[in-house]
Structure 1
Amino acid sequence: MPYNNVFESNRLTVTPDSWPGFKAPTIGATALLAAMALMAPQFSYAQDAADQSTPSSSLEQIVVTGSRIGRVDGFEAPTPVTVMGEAELRSFASPNIADSINSMPVFAGSMTPGSSVANVSGGHAGMNVLNLRSLGRSRTLVLLDGQRIVASNIDGSVDVNNIPQDLVSRVEVVTGGASAVYGSDAVGGVVNFILDTTFTGLKGRVTGGMTGKRDNENVSASLTGGTSFASGRGHIVANVSGRDSKAVRVNRRDWNLEGWQFMYNPNYTPTNGQPERLMLNQVSTSDGIRGGIITNTPLRGTAFGPGGAPYQFRYGDLVSDPDMRGGDWYKTQVRGTEDGLSLAPDITDVSVFAHATYQLTDNIEVFAQASHGRSETYNYGYTLECNSCLTISADNPFIPASVQTQMQTLGLTEFEMGTQHQDLGSASTDAERAVSRYVVGAKGDFELFGTDWNWDVSYQKGIAKLDVVADNSMLMANFNRAVDAVRHPVTGEIVCRSSIADPGNGCVAYNPMGIGVNSQATLDYIRGAGLRQYKNEEIKQDAASATIAGEPFSIWAGPVSIAAGLAYRKDTSGGSNDPISDTRGWYTGGYGTTRASIDVTEGFIETVVPLARNVSWADQLEFNGAVRLADYSTSGSLTTWKAGLVYKPVDALTFRATRSRDARAPNIAELYSIGGGGLSSATNPFTGLPLILIPAPRTGNPNLTPELADGLGLGLVLQPSFLPGFSLSVDYWSVKLKDSIATLVLQEILDRCYQGSQQYCTAITFAPGSLDITEVARSPFNYVVERARGIDFEASYRTSLGAGNLSTRLLVARYIERSTDDGITPRNLVGQGTGSDPQRLRWNFKVSYALDPVSVGFTARGVSSSVYDNRFIECTMACPPSTSAHRTVSTNKINGQIVFDTSLGYDLDAGGAKMNLFLDVRNILDEDPPVVANGPGADGYFYSPANYALHDYMGRVFQAGVRIDF
């Protein structure tokens, strides 16, 4: 239903063109209704955000869904709101809207298809999952037109890929706690995608792109149409789009070929003043090379190449198994090969979307929405590394004759070896994900006791299906039989030892010594003998809501606005998987299927109370508050609330403050997961012996309780009259999260049990009558207190320049604290650059100029330098003794990065159609990512020395195309 939004003296007037007799609500009701729009679809008077590249008056015609009052670009909202308009979204050189959003400094640690290329076990391949303030992806609530979206994974992750990107008119980011307004998961904030469901006409888009290295080629196309029907009482809009993006399987970037990695200093002692860990180049593995290498006995260094031919491996000048520096490092280097970490997966997706409204009466409108998206992703993962973990008996017939002779001479009965199992290939995932969503509802208005009220009801059904197969994963029972090869005592053939006693077991002997030495039958047997590791998972969401809002009475400063409503939501997971995953029998993957459900019933009330208006000491003083009561089937009742003040002493200056109690209820994965993940290694603290490749599944904990968070926001907004078009906001925020849900790594679970914490001992399975450990369940617990603090800056300036329009915008996120306290080791994570932790400073500056028919944009994005770990001690001499809490390292610095982007556009008429030709270039200077070294030990040698979640790593990227509006 069409509306015209007009700001008049900082008051918002809403004029519905097609509702005869409708009385426009005052500012209080409008503000409250705008906030309530995030609770239910279509209950929004918000129009499309204006193109941010133009400083016309239309820029001020914005009502942000989720704010309490009408405002311009989030500067007048009591809770900070950042808006990214259509022009800014599409100017980023990427076919995916998530890349544009993640360029905003308030996002840190989001999951992207690139950052999850090594994710084989989690089922996240190809997903884009947003993370506000690095508080966690599960604490960022993603909405579509104010309504929840069904998750694409049982951990609650919402895949942004499923949003109809060519219909997005703007994205609104509400930072800070918002659980009282929007419900669970909004601890970090809310990201609301606003669609242009009133579009009329026909428009299309065709784009293509690649990197400056001529890889990661992608093409995409979209067609959108909208029209009215039934003499204007109805309207329908539909969109169909598709994309194909090619993988970058082999990362041949120069920065990936230099062998940067940490390794243990072989010369370190606690008293010689040397650092325990060295960060060096030309580092690779010493005891797990491609074709295999003997790692003990006098035969140490005997390696096996193509065809199984033995040769003497040349160790480097520094050796600390499983790593070394120098020597034959480049021969063992897997980075830059098909066995190393790739840069991007193969992705193909297609989606359809339709939205229809129909005006039943002058005061009642019904609507329906349907969407379906399907994506196919192939993720190239990692080698099946085995660092000195195989024991080969002297009677193994695959041992080359020359090596057999040496063993006989030396009297050796066995040796240990390590290998990357080159013949078995890399563990990878082939995933197909489909998400369907259906929404129906109605909205309207009525008059009661002389005041205007609005109502809204809706129901949505969401269904997400994931079909995933793990390619090249080893079935460990088959592998263990196949690697134990002997000669048959009768036939003399090479067979599995187990096949002598059980000739019909189907085992085919495996040769770990060499490259290209195994038959396809052998590989097929180890990979499952016809059984593929798979999971068919289905996640369903049923959600219903009803809201009502109005102005029941007025007080001295104006009308009091109230909104209230009820909501119900049920999330269900189910499906099927291969029979082996449940027994933890695969090397990686472990696709167990969880069958469970969670439901919640909620009631909420919100209010906006004007306390002063147009008095000597205040232009405006307004209170806004919200309370939500929720009853979860898993954790019982829960109350969240929010209280805020907006104070404008003068028209140009606004102060805002909010205090909130937020919460996040545990999701299905945290509560009920039956386990996923492959095999891991650690040390048994009870025996001191290594645990080699034991099952360590991620299982749920049904005893979890909701996380509780206390949030505070203090800010000011400056919009001076002497500088029209300029706005500045500065906001301090803090969050304290109690009873935070987290999962310990394998070694920590073992160590805490050994130290006497019984709750962790329940996760460990011991062999009967011994201290040998056979399995460790990595379950989450409510055991962490988390704190986060920071300051956000936003400034924008729009003005006419010559015959064109100039627009500038600066966004800065300054992180002060991001700490965790697990009751044993308090840690501050701000400024650590190896994972998803926030950097101390992230910023984004954009300037654009439009002079019809040409538009030009320039963006600078920056992230400050960081460290590997805030607890590390950097030193090269006179180092103190290294401890588990304070490692001594040769370097602890990770450089910052500044990246420049540009966009060019040209408008022209083509036979009555409006055409826009564009070229967007990301990272125009082709800056390499800073070195972020992995290791030491284990599998660090196949990871790229870069942080895909933090830095720009693809290099220069081009995206070009045409948009046509008929």
Structure 2
Amino acid sequence: MRLRIDIMRSSALGVLALSLGTIAATQAVAQEAPQTPEKTAAADTAEVVVTGSRIVRPDLASSSPVSVISAKDIQLRQPATAEELLRDMPALRPNIGPGVNNGGDGSATLELRGIGANRTLVLLDGRRLVPFGLDGLTDTNNIPVALIERVDTLTGGASSTYGADAVAGVVNFITKRDFKGLTATANYRFSEKGDATRFKADVVVGASFDDDRGNVVLSVGYTKADPLLTTARSIGAYPISSVTGQFSGATAAQVTIFGAPSNAKLGIPASSFGAVVNPTTGLLQPATASDTFNSNIGTYFQTPLDRINVYASGRYEISDGIEFYSTAMFNRNKVRLQLASSGTFGNTYQLALNNPYLPAGILGQLCSASGISATDCATAAAVQGGPGTAGYREIPVVAQRRITEMGARGNPIESQMFQVMGGFRGSIIDSLRYDVSAQYGETTQNQTREHWGSFSKVQQALRAYKDKNGNFVCADPSNGCVPLNLFGPNGSITPQQVAFIDLSALINRKVQQTVITGTITGDLFTVPLADHKIGFAIGGEYRKISARSMPDSASQIQGEVLGTGARTPPDFGQYSVKEVYGEINAPLIEDKPFFYRLGVEAGIRYSDYTTTGGSTTWKVGGTWEPYQGFKFRGTYSVAVRSPNIQELYQSPVQSLGNLTIDPCVGNVTGGLAALCVATGAPASTIGQIPSPTSNQINNTTSGNRNLNVERARTYTFGTALTPSFLPGFSLTVDYFHIKIRDAITQPAQADILNGCYSAALNPGFSYNAFCQLIKRNPLTGSLNGAGETPGVILTYSNLGVIETAGWDFGVNQRLRMDDLGVNVPGNLTFSMNGTLLNYYRFQATPNSINRNCTAYYSSGGCTNPRAKWRWVGRLGYGTENFDVSLLWTHVGSVSLEPGVTGIRPEFSRIPAYNYFDLATRVSPTENLELSLTVNNLFNKQPPLVGNGVGGTTFNGGNTFPTIYDVIGRSFTVGARLKF
């Protein structure tokens, strides 16, 4: 057993061998037992478990709305990943995925109802997958798309069934059962510009044996998606300021000097971008926008993916009432994020006055502004030596320079995931069934920061001088130091200089999950007015999750890795939970006047977490069908979610947030100026504080080990109509409402800045609780910098309130062509699913505003757009061997959040967007299918909003790539062989 565990952990092939080998061994033993043609009850009914319930019975009617994406729709869309399949679903809000470059982590996650991806549970065949990171989220890149039979999405009432982290609902990917034969599929996508290419190929093979008592399936797939550079589209050719509408560059490709001595002493006005070197005079002069760098160079609109996935499953009926089943899966995903070239950014360096690359004119300016006499300055410049040498002097400067010679900053992330599961199910008696299983999974992730550069080596290379032989040498020659020329034009940093200061850092993350669960389900008795028995399910579950992040030594040093701003500390956390649950579904009245069906259901789950103790979540619901085909339904549930490992244990780390206007920039006076000083700006910098670099500022986030549970109350009610007088027609309309108290949230950046600096919210400009969460650069007064500049501090707390409500609707119609009086074969189909968002409100703390983000976007507040109306509809015609359909995706209009000022009017509203995709399928032979999908048929271009709104994570290339198509018209051609 010990050997098996070692093999399982060390090799993905070992995982698959363990699963398939166990199935084969079970088959060999079972073949010695007496044969029986009858199947067990569990085998007969395993596929009628409804998402949202653990009760196994064919007549079960759920009171919670479940939307379904069918295998046919999956085939027409030809998605490469599960996230791509669900991205346009109205109930989902786009989250981390291939459209997120600066702020992504290599995963693709789902977020129902827009209340946080950590409140959406992703399942595979009703079971959890090992999480991707410390936040407990599932990477949907690991879903074996080729094996998916359908996708069920349930919103509301799922917590008591699957766990309290299903606050918003569950997305359940259902795989094909008892697959027989061989299917090979391949598709290739390309844009009409010839880029954004993607290739996907899968082989699925399955077979039954021993008179169908057993079945095994193996799926192997490969996906490769090429990146799309931001500059490959005109909208992302260069960053555009949301305030001015003009080019908005970042740190220059030539040195820009801020700080001590202050710009004022250098004769540089506060309105400039700093001071740059005049190549003719060798003096510092005010920098303009033309001196800044195009920070879109090297970045991605769509990140690349290289994926290998292997999935195996099997089952075998050992005897009547005992079936063994097992699954094993392995995934290797390579995702690359890429940012513009690294640089010295806002770091403070000690600049030696005898630096051999320092122009004489600038030397004189710096000495004069620093109060160093001309004689002492000349003496210091002539020193042949470093610190400790007589006459040596250095001054602190913020010498910003993009090191374009180093190339783009790469963030390749390679993750490997495996999970094995095995269990037994069957019947105890005819009306009583059982299912017990155990699973174990691991995710490992290696993130490399390529060509980011070393702060300490830059500092070492700046302490250089000219020796008596005229050679440029480092005062500290260790490590093969090469003096660095920060003062030349773009291209002046030599390959030797780049090689010395270059640094690639590594972060390793590992997540482990163990789940043991057991359920007994069956029937009790009938009530007098019903024909079907009351169904029930009871069970227990144990889960243990541990996660750690292990950065290398360079990453753990404050500000050592250029561009990160701060250290990346190691993190570790774990918790376990023991749960018991029960569920009941009771038909009360059947086949009576006005009561064709009346039933109630209820569920309860008690959880005991090692972190937050005991808590209870429950639901009640019911359905009333007065006439067959006219159903009314509703569910009320209470969920209690415990914090995940990241929310509890994350050490303080720095990230970036969007900010177009810093309240302390410019000629501030009076109480506001005093607040700027109180929040960390030196008094000497008032009036000289530089604007946010690239419209971005530092944010510092951290976990909170004192967090407790959050409490959610959700309810849904609606109707489902399938009238017999309208064959092929169905209509569903459901209202949803979710309110979370004691919500585990982080305050919005905008709340903190406005709560401190806004005269309307802080009339007396007092140093209040919001101001305590702002820490400025102690040298420049800005909100940019390295580890010395936390910026805006965003810490988790239980002080939030989240509330959202709206309507879901779905309509389907299927008509035979001959029923329409048209003498041609085939069917005409129409379907539409949509969501009307009534409101979404978020209040991070009692002192924050109760922000309404319905149909709004902004920076640091509502972030990316949250449309009021979203829907998808498909109109199609099909026969057995041919299909053609048009998919319509609608995203409603959105506007800039009220109260946000300074944004140009043309960037303050995005009109409604409509996309159309054309899909065709033809089967020229019995074994061959050919498909063509044209996405964004009319080549609709994304909206231009500049780079200063919507948050750093979701605003890329002056637009929102997760919501609006940036690829343009694209074509996917596919083929499928079936045997």
Contact 2:928 2:976 in 1 (8 A): yes
2:15 corresponds to which residue? none
1:237 corresponds to which residue? 217
Residue 764 of structure 1: CA displacement?
7.9
2:38 corresponds to which residue? 20
Question: What letter matches 1:916 in structure 2?
Answer: E
1:98 corresponds to which residue? 83
Q: May I ask how many residue pairs the two structures share in their alignment?
A: 853
Which SS does the other structure have where 2:173 is aligned? strand
Q: Is the counterpart of residue 220 in structure 1 residue 200 in structure 2?
A: yes
Contact 1:227 1:235 in 2 (8 A): yes
Which SS does the other structure have where 2:83 is aligned? helix
> 1:467-478, aligned counterparts within 5 Å?
467-478=446-457
| Higher mean C-alpha deviation, range 406-415 or range 96-105 | 406-415
CA distance in 2, matches of 1:161, 1:377: 10
Residue 372 of structure 1: CA displacement?
0.6
Q: Is the counterpart of residue 487 in structure 1 residue 461 in structure 2?
A: no
Q: Is the counterpart of residue 607 in structure 1 residue 607 in structure 2?
A: no
Aligned with 1:894 (options 884, 904, 910): 910
CA distance in 1, matches of 2:177, 2:954: 49
2:389 corresponds to which residue? none
Contact 2:238 2:957 in 1 (8 A): no
Normalised TM-score (structure 2): 0.79
Residue 853 of structure 1: CA displacement?
2.2
Q: Which runs of 5+ in 1 are unaligned?
A: 1-16, 24-32, 34-41, 48-61, 264-277, 316-320, 874-881
Aligned with 1:152 (options 117, 132, 156): 132
CA distance in 2, matches of 1:938, 1:734: 27
Aligned with 1:569 (options 543, 566, 577): 543
CA distance in 2, matches of 1:313, 1:172: 66
Contact 2:200 2:223 in 1 (8 A): yes
Residue 471 of structure 1: CA displacement?
1.2
CA distance in 1, matches of 2:679, 2:82: 50
Q: Is the counterpart of residue 544 in structure 1 residue 516 in structure 2?
A: yes
Change (3 A) 1:148 1:836: farther
Q: Is the counterpart of residue 466 in structure 1 residue 445 in structure 2?
A: yes
Contact 1:371 1:438 in 2 (8 A): yes
> 1:776-815, aligned counterparts within 5 Å?
776=790, 778-801=794-817, 802-815=824-837
Aligned with 1:79 (options 34, 46, 64): 64
2:7 corresponds to which residue? none
1:669 corresponds to which residue? 646
1:46 corresponds to which residue? 47
Contact 1:185 1:665 in 2 (8 A): yes
Which SS does the other structure have where 1:46 is aligned? helix
Residue 211 of structure 1: CA displacement?
1.3
Aligned with 1:369 (options 301, 321, 327): 327
1:397 corresponds to which residue? 356
Residue 779 of structure 1: CA displacement?
3.0
Which SS does the other structure have where 2:457 is aligned? helix
Contact 1:374 1:435 in 2 (8 A): yes
Change (3 A) 1:867 1:67: farther
Question: What letter matches 1:703 in structure 2?
Answer: N
Question: What letter matches 2:320 in structure 1?
Answer: D
Contact 2:96 2:108 in 1 (8 A): yes
Aligned with 2:894 (options 866, 879, 887): 866
Contact 1:19 1:363 in 2 (8 A): no
CA distance in 1, matches of 2:777, 2:361: 42
CA distance in 2, matches of 1:722, 1:312: 87
Contact 2:857 2:950 in 1 (8 A): no
CA distance in 2, matches of 1:941, 1:71: 44
1:855 corresponds to which residue? 883
Question: What letter matches 2:426 in structure 1?
Answer: G
CA distance in 2, matches of 1:20, 1:203: 29
Give the structure with the higher percent strand. Answer: 1
Residue 477 of structure 1: CA displacement?
3.1
Question: What letter matches 1:816 in structure 2?
Answer: N
1:347 corresponds to which residue? 305
Which SS does the other structure have where 2:95 is aligned? coil
Q: What's the CA shift string for 1:439-495, capped at 9, x where partnerless?
A: 000100132xxx61111001000111111111122333333443x344246555444
Residue 253 of structure 1: CA displacement?
1.1
Give the structure with the higher percent helix. Answer: 2
1:633 corresponds to which residue? 610
2:190 corresponds to which residue? 210
2:170 corresponds to which residue? 190
Contact 1:200 1:227 in 2 (8 A): yes
CA distance in 2, matches of 1:322, 1:153: 42
Change (3 A) 1:69 1:464: closer
Change (3 A) 1:965 1:207: same
CA distance in 1, matches of 2:610, 2:604: 20
Which SS does the other structure have where 1:181 is aligned? helix
Which SS does the other structure have where 1:908 is aligned? strand
Q: Identity rate of aligned residues, in percent?
A: 25
Q: What's the CA shift string for 1:171-213, capped at 9, x where partnerless?
A: 0000124211110321111000000131001110121111111
Residue 294 of structure 1: CA displacement?
5.7
2:499 corresponds to which residue? 524
Change (3 A) 1:706 1:312: farther
Q: Is the counterpart of residue 950 in structure 1 residue 928 in structure 2?
A: no
1:423 corresponds to which residue? 405
2:248 corresponds to which residue? 284
Contact 1:588 1:677 in 2 (8 A): no
Aligned with 1:456 (options 435, 456, 471): 435
Contact 1:664 1:707 in 2 (8 A): yes
Change (3 A) 1:828 1:679: closer
Change (3 A) 1:163 1:942: closer
Which SS does the other structure have where 2:356 is aligned? coil
- The alignment yields a C-alpha RMSD, in angstroms, of 3.9
CA distance in 2, matches of 1:98, 1:775: 36
Normalised TM-score (structure 1): 0.80
Residue 164 of structure 1: CA displacement?
1.2
CA distance in 1, matches of 2:617, 2:329: 32
Contact 2:55 2:522 in 1 (8 A): no
Q: Which runs of 5+ in 2 are unaligned?
A: 1-34, 373-394, 663-675, 683-688, 757-764, 818-823
1:56 corresponds to which residue? none
Question: What letter matches 1:543 in structure 2?
Answer: V
Residue 309 of structure 1: CA displacement?
4.8
